[in-house]
Amino acid sequence: MANDYGAKDIRVLEGLDAVRMRPGMYIGTTGPRGLHHMIWEIVDNSIDEAANGYASEISVSLNRDGSCTVSDNGRGIPVDIHPEQGVSAVEVVYTQLHAGGKFDNKNYAYSGGLHGVGASVVNALSEWVEVDVYRDFGHYHIRFETRYNRRTKKMEIGKPVAPLEKVSNTRKKGTTVTFKPDPAVFEEVEFQYSTVCDRIRELAYLNAGVTFRLTDERIQDPAKRTVEFCFTGGLRDFIAYQIAGEDPVGDLIEFSGEKDGVRVRCAVQYTNTFTETTLSFVNNVPTQEGGTHEAGFKSALTKVFNDYARKLGALKEKDNNLSGDDFREGMTCILAVNVRQPQFEGQTKGRLGNTEVKPAVEAVCAEHLTLFTENLKNQEAAQRIVDKAMTAAKAREAARRAKAQVRILKETSATPLVGKLSSCTGRDASKNELFIVEGDSAGGSAKQGRDRRYQAILPLRGKPLNVEKKKLDQVLANEEFRSIITALGTGIEDEFDMRRLKYNRVIILSDADQDGAHIRAILLTFFYRYMRPLITEGHVYIGMPPLYRCQKGDRTVYCYDDREPEKAIQKIGKGYTLQRYKGLGEMNPEQLWETTMDGANRKMMQVSIEDAAAAERMVTILMGDKVDPRREYIVQHANFNKVDTFIDRVNLEGGAANGR
């Protein structure tokens, strides 16, 4: 009975059971992002050794059996018996939540780990984990497994097979951890090489002089399995990598300093672009959602350059100060801080919350930026930054007027949507879907084939602007983008409000050819630049229409890449007909519904941002002004007959969303 609720109903989760029951609390998600977060938890431990001067080499291996190995040449996890737990320190670290050497400043001055749960969480969510420790002239080994105990009839999570044992004598130092993610926990357990490689490269930039190696044992050619990164220039090299293909404005601004225990490193480079890219890190951990360290830097930049603009006379006494957005237009910034006791929002460390960090970072940045503007050799560069900001301020005012016009249009019966948007009848935004469809022909089929209760169709008439090359007022003058903004209802940039989103899923539906890929790239770039929360919160999808239709009598098989028709023909037998769809417009409404729009049968790719630095660089390369970097990348990666087309690699790491 409902009122028969007592102490017997209170469940106590022991050991690592809590992690297994609610993995999302510890790694964010059981999708691809959470899977790769397992690697970062172990790598962060090696990074902490390197950042504190104990390690110079870190290696990551993606193994053929689906496991991952992370090793370093640091001090090695302590192997002696823990005085309170009565087992080795290695066993404590991997079986006890909130156990580690990072709760004081004795062993690590700065650490990416705070909660002491990283190693134990990896153990809890793996089929097995093996740890090899090299220290005190000995090689020590222990293995943990998750398995069903037939005697107790319970799952044993991350239990040691045997106590830590000494294998041999050695002069080697360091720690090697191998783990295999459990498919019972994760939606998919295959590590993506590009995701791991981007992060390893990023860590090499942030830790100048430390050698990082990545080996993919799944690659057949031994000569291509291993890549090595070591950058002596640190943030300077990182900036150069990020802005590849853009024209710099002035020289690089680079400085470092420390105040109140907060260590600050910063590199800033302006280019001729219109977008701002700020990549921030705390103790080597990327903070994609920013935090107090970013706030401190931005405050200092705005104040110093406003003061300089007044000193130059560019701003008169009666003039208002320029905004921070004006001074950050075209800026690429790498901000790396070290904090002794970082307070992250959540274990996945997306945003820094330490209030004391803002004034410390602001003071260091203000001091060095002031020195930059006062140095005679930097006068031309500083002047160009002010001139660029003044131009940005004028464009901002034009964009403000354009935004106001868009709001007026939205409030007057959605004027730009008349004759375009076929809305759905349902009013529950959490269930509704908006298909942005390439072309009137495909749009017509989609309108006829859809489920009108929850599916809306917005056809695109012509190719929208490439927003990477345009200012905001030009973007808002484009009818296609005004229609999208009005249809979604969220507003853009600083006015963006997710609570006003009218459709839970925004699905881009374009042809599987070069033009379709280009339109998909343009739309993804628009969402990335002006409605980024749509992507980060998982609302943007790529529709995946079939390329072929194989039919015999009343039996039909749809094929989604060039490899599938052969299998379909073998399955369906002789006397078949094979149709190659050149575009969505060749499908009748029933076929489009059956293959691409029916939630029970369709295939979709969810768009996500796994690595902000990689996403920024790919958007710049693929959508920027420079032709050579784009051509080089397309030649290397493009295959327009595969689902994994070149733009999908920009900021797509989501798994298939079948039936969603």
**Would residue 262 count as lying in a domain?**
yes
- In terms of domains, do 174 and 153 share one? yes
Of 474, 467, 451, 462, the residue nearest 420 (C-alpha)? 462
pTM, two decimals, is 0.72
Cα–Cα distance between 605 and 543 in angstroms, integer? 7
For 125-153, the pLDDT digits (tens) are 999 999 999 999 999 999 999 988 888 88
- In terms of domains, do 156 and 290 share one? no
Query: Which residue reads 């939540």 in tokens?
Result: 97
**CATH number of the domain to which 116 belongs:** 3.30.565.10
Q: What is the pLDDT of residue 636?
A: 57
DSSP code for 11: P
CA distances from 114 to 22, 75, 174, 295, 387 (A): 19, 19, 21, 22, 43
Which secondary structure element, helix H or strand E, spans residue 291, and what is its range? none
Residue 419 domain boundaries: 413-545+581-651
Q: What is the pLDDT of residue 69?
A: 98
- In terms of domains, do 241 and 224 share one? no
pLDDT bucket at 39, cuts 50 / 70 / 90: very high
- Of residues 504 and 416, more confidence is placed in 504
Decide if pLDDT at 642 tops 90. no
**CATH number of the domain to which 283 belongs:** 3.30.230.10
Residue 346 Ramachandran class (φ > 0 left, ψ -120 to 50 alpha, else beta):
left
Cα–Cα distance between 270 and 285 in angstroms, integer? 24
Contact 282, 343 (CB under 8 A): no
Q: What is the pLDDT of residue 135?
A: 94
**Would residue 426 count as lying in a domain?**
yes
Contact 302, 649 (CB under 8 A): no
Contact 5, 147 (CB under 8 A): no
Of 136, 134, 213, the residue nearest 176 (C-alpha)? 134
Contact 175, 200 (CB under 8 A): no
For 589-635, the pLDDT digits (tens) are 999 999 999 998 888 888 887 667 777 777 776 776 665 666 665 55
Q: Long-range contacts for 314-317 (Cβ within 8 Å, ≥24 apart)?
A: 314/386, 314/387, 314/390
User: Phi and psi for 180 in degrees, rounded to 5?
Assistant: -120, 110
- In terms of domains, do 145 and 240 share one? no
Q: What average pLDDT does this structure show over 431-436? A: 96
- In terms of domains, do 225 and 239 share one? no
Contact 212, 240 (CB under 8 A): no
Q: What is the pLDDT of residue 10?
A: 34
**CATH number of the domain to which 627 belongs:** 3.40.50.670
Q: What is the pLDDT of residue 350?
A: 77
Contact 252, 268 (CB under 8 A): yes
Count of beta carbons in the 10 Å neighbourhood of residue 186 = 21
- In terms of domains, do 490 and 598 share one? yes
Total number of domains constituting the chain? 3
Q: What is the pLDDT of residue 251?
A: 87
Q: Which residues are registered as beta bridge partners of 61? A: 69, 215
Count of beta carbons in the 10 Å neighbourhood of residue 425 = 11
- Of residues 152 and 643, more confidence is placed in 152
- In terms of domains, do 32 and 68 share one? yes
Q: What average pLDDT does this structure show over 229-245? A: 93
**Would residue 557 count as lying in a domain?**
no
CA distances from 279 to 64, 206, 303, 419 (A): 33, 11, 20, 42
Q: What is the pLDDT of residue 430?
A: 94
Q: What average pLDDT does this structure show over 79-90? A: 87
- In terms of domains, do 535 and 625 share one? yes
Cα–Cα distance between 98 and 92 in angstroms, integer? 10
Q: Lowest mean pLDDT: which of 327-336, 337-346, 583-592, 641-650? A: 641-650
Decide if pLDDT at 486 tops 80. yes
Q: What is the pLDDT of residue 109?
A: 53
The residue out of 395, 430, 457 marking a domain boundary is 395
* 449's tokens: 């084939």
- In terms of domains, do 418 and 390 share one? no
For 561-594, the pLDDT digits (tens) are 888 898 899 888 888 999 988 888 888 999 999 9
pLDDT bucket at 110, cuts 50 / 70 / 90: low
CA distances from 337 to 57, 95, 324, 364 (A): 22, 31, 21, 11
DSSP code for 12: P
- In terms of domains, do 174 and 253 share one? no
Task: Give the gyration radius of the chain's Cα atoms.
Answer: 27
Highest mean pLDDT among 337-341, 348-352, 377-381, 429-433 belongs to 429-433
Q: What is the pLDDT of residue 338?
A: 92
Burial grade of 343 (CB within 10 A; 0-12, 13-18, 19 or more): middle
The residue out of 180, 203, 229 marking a domain boundary is 229
- Of residues 101 and 37, more confidence is placed in 37
The residue out of 185, 209, 229 marking a domain boundary is 229
Count of beta carbons in the 10 Å neighbourhood of residue 103 = 16
**Would residue 120 count as lying in a domain?**
yes
For 369-391, the pLDDT digits (tens) are 999 999 999 999 899 999 999 98
Mean pLDDT over each residue of the chain, to the nearest integer: 84
For 270-322, the pLDDT digits (tens) are 998 888 899 999 988 888 889 999 999 999 999 999 999 999 999 988 888 99
Decide if pLDDT at 424 tops 90. yes
Count of beta carbons in the 10 Å neighbourhood of residue 548 = 18
Q: Could you give the residue numbers annotated as active site?
A: 438, 511, 513, 515
Cα–Cα distance between 193 and 227 in angstroms, integer? 11
Cα–Cα distance between 338 and 261 in angstroms, integer? 8
- In terms of domains, do 176 and 272 share one? no
**Would residue 424 count as lying in a domain?**
yes
- In terms of domains, do 391 and 417 share one? no
Cα–Cα distance between 198 and 71 in angstroms, integer? 18
Burial grade of 480 (CB within 10 A; 0-12, 13-18, 19 or more): buried
Decide if pLDDT at 638 tops 70. no
**Would residue 552 count as lying in a domain?**
no
Cα–Cα distance between 550 and 568 in angstroms, integer? 7
Q: What is the pLDDT of residue 428?
A: 94
CA distances from 177 to 59, 89, 107, 228, 348 (A): 10, 15, 20, 19, 20
Q: How far is CA 644 from the centre of its chain?
A: 17
Query: Which residue reads 């301020």 in tokens?
Result: 393
Beta strands in 591-640, from DSSP E residues, in sequence order: 604-606
Residues in Cβ contact with 217 at an 8 Å cutoff, skipping those fewer than 6 apart = 61, 62, 63, 64, 225
Q: What average pLDDT does this structure show over 80-92? A: 87
Count of beta carbons in the 10 Å neighbourhood of residue 61 = 19
Q: What is the pLDDT of residue 6?
A: 37
**Would residue 116 count as lying in a domain?**
yes
Q: What is the pLDDT of residue 469?
A: 77
User: Phi and psi for 563 in degrees, rounded to 5?
Assistant: -85, -25
**Would residue 380 count as lying in a domain?**
yes
Beta strands in 16-81, from DSSP E residues, in sequence order: 57-62, 68-72
Decide if pLDDT at 325 tops 70. yes
Cα–Cα distance between 500 and 488 in angstroms, integer? 8
Decide if pLDDT at 643 tops 60. no
